[in-house]
Amino acid sequence: MNAHRSYMDLCLERHRDGLAHVGSQNADALWFTSSLVRTAAFATLQERPVDQYAPPTQWLEIASGAVPVFLATWDWIKADPKSEAMGVMKETVVLTDKEAFFKESNRRGFVHLLQRMESTRDLTEPWDGDIQEAYETNLSYLGSVKLAIDAGRPCSEIGLRLIGFASMVPKRFISLVGEQ
């Protein structure tokens, strides 16, 4: 893990340098680097201590941080017929159908998690429409993952859905996780 941290720091430093000058020459490399960083951050979750819970905020922030990179490189990638990133995106269409991820029906089986009780926690915990929406969106996404598992979808697809989780859910949900 020490080596991972050292090389990840170097990678992110160089990646930031590249992001300062996005263009046709580096768009694919920046897109792939963000994808790999997001995947590496997901893989490090297995190294988290399980004896005392701490929210996985670093993973969530790194993965959600890939979204602006994907958006910044999109115009260059889509215009390049030789783009390797575009080829990968076409093959992984599973992550582009946002409507399928966020359907209300995906939350079946999880709706009880949205119910507010008369408990001390529920009475003192902040709750408003934005928070409700963040939790609903999150549960819809997780429900889509469960539905894919139940349908026997390939492990590679399930893995992509899990890796993409933090890139797909609202930033508000990620900040709520950080607040615990």
Q: What is the pTM of this model?
A: 0.81
Q: How far is CA 122 from CA 109, 137, 175, 180, in A?
A: 20, 20, 18, 13
Q: Is 91 inside a domain boundary?
A: no
**Same-domain pairing of 106 and 78:** no
Q: How confident is the model at residue 146 (pLDDT cuts 50, 70, 90)?
A: very high
- Out of 56, 82, 108, pick the residue that ends a domain: 82
Same domain, 74 and 110: no
Task: Show the domain range for 37.
Answer: 2-82
Whether residue 108 is found in the same domain as residue 39: no
- 84 or 119, higher pLDDT: 84
Give residue 20's pLDDT.
92
Q: How many domains does the chain have?
A: 2
107 and 172 share one domain: yes
Which residue in the block uniquely carries the two structure tokens 């999880």? Answer: 110
Mean pLDDT of the chain: 89
> pLDDT digits over 41-65, tens only?
999 898 888 888 889 998 999 889 8
pLDDT reading at 137 higher than 90: yes
72 plus 137 within the same structural domain: no
pLDDT > 90 fraction of the chain, expressed in percent and rounded: 46
The string of pLDDT tens digits covering residues 151-170 is: 999 998 898 889 888 888 88
* Domain shared by 120 and 63, yes or no: no
Domain shared by 60 and 115, yes or no: no
The pLDDT assigned to 116 comes to 86
* Cα distances (Å, whole numbers) of residue 19 to 12, 32, 64, 72, 83: 10, 12, 16, 8, 17
With a cut of 80, say whether residue 9 has pLDDT above it: yes
Please check whether residues 73 and 130 belong to one and the same domain.
Answer: no
| pLDDT band, residue 94 (cuts 50/70/90) | low
**74/108 same-domain check:** no
Q: Please compute the mean of the pLDDT values over residues 136-164 and round it to a whole number.
A: 92
109 in the Ramachandran plot: left (φ > 0), alpha (ψ -120 to 50) or beta? left
Q: Note whether residue 110 is domain-resident.
A: yes
108 occurs within a structural domain? yes
